[in-house]
Structure 1
């Protein structure tokens, strides 16, 4: 029977995903990893002088901070953050429908960056990395945005959309980079770095 290379590499490790994102959980499951989910609250603020890629790394590290004294010899903690950046302005998670509508209206017909970062932390090691994908949106009508918000309610997503949902199917004409980076986890880099870890 064939053995998953990553699972085999980490067979003695206790993997902890510190994220409530269903997308990140799905991605780790599809990679074949055994892991537990543990979330510790942090206030996601960042210094105003940071560039968008620096913000993504900063927030991934911030989410690892509450765990640093509790990690055992065999633990590997995975934290991540995804930000949407339009014309050098960060679009976070919308606080309500009005803000979500405004974000999608701004993204409509334009290209933007999605930056996903990951922090891998053990008792004595830290790896951090990020990936950037360029996303090109078609022009979206008010009807299309309203339909998406009514049926998908994407208030837990940066930029108010999920590429794997209806809006991605009809609204995204092309991406330059990794689909999984836009979904919330640069899987190719996660695999590469976990194999080294």
Structure 2
């Protein structure tokens, strides 16, 4: 059976690939801290440039792991998602205080969620970018505290997960719901077609 490698620890990306009917195997880094270090923001880096750069670095690292392990050849898929408030990048909160601060900053405002996707199949490599706009309702301190206490913010860019409890805060979106979750399905399916992959 045809499959692809998913170089991501995100259960949401696995779920979205399942939704597309794409069989996949995980291709994860041995060193989680080194993988997280790839996501460090460079000085004055714009959100779009940041998410593209990080996705390329993840794909290059995944291709090295594939070759070093001598695994069966198959396409390798990587993605990265960032939340941008203006030109400011909101990454993954390190603690409860930072998570609460991010929610307060997003409260009553519209922000962008940008997801870059990269796929390599043999010598062919393709990239795509999905950008959506998300309007968050005004949040009072009780709402912020309850959400932070849920721990749902952990490991999430911008400190929230649209597919979870935070859906109650979202007034409207413009763009790709799956892209906001972390893997834009239209763009991913298009890359697989361009790579002439048949699953």
Question: Normalising by the residue count of structure 2, what TM-score does the alignment of the two structures yield?
Answer: 0.87
Count, aligned residues: 185
SS at match of 1:30: helix
Gaps of 5+ in 2: none
Question: Normalising by the residue count of structure 1, what TM-score does the alignment of the two structures yield?
Answer: 0.88
Query: Post-superposition, which runs of at least 4 consecutive aligned residues in structure 1 deviate over 4 A?
Result: none
Q: Is the 8 A contact 2:28 2:62 kept in 1?
A: no
CA distance in 2, matches of 1:121, 1:48: 28
Gaps of 5+ in 1: 1-10
Deviation track 1:38-95 (CA, whole Å, cap 9, x = no partner) reads 2114222243343211111111111112233435784100110000000210000000
Aligned twin of 2:192? 194
1:18 to 2, 7, 32: 7
Q: Cα distance 1:46–1:102, how it changes in 2: closer, same or farther (>3 A)?
A: closer
Deviation track 1:105-160 (CA, whole Å, cap 9, x = no partner) reads 00000000000011101231111111100000100111111111112431110000
CA distance in 1, matches of 2:191, 2:72: 18
Q: Cα distance 1:191–1:157, how it changes in 2: closer, same or farther (>3 A)?
A: same
Q: Is the 8 A contact 2:63 2:76 kept in 1?
A: no
1:58 matched to 2:57: no
CA distance in 1, matches of 2:41, 2:143: 33
1:30 matched to 2:53: no
Aligned twin of 1:154? 153
SS at match of 2:135: strand
CA distance in 2, matches of 1:73, 1:23: 25
Q: Is the 8 A contact 2:92 2:156 kept in 1?
A: yes
SS at match of 2:150: helix
Q: Is the 8 A contact 1:18 1:39 kept in 2?
A: yes
Q: Report matched runs for 1:92-131 at 5 Å.
A: 92-131=91-130
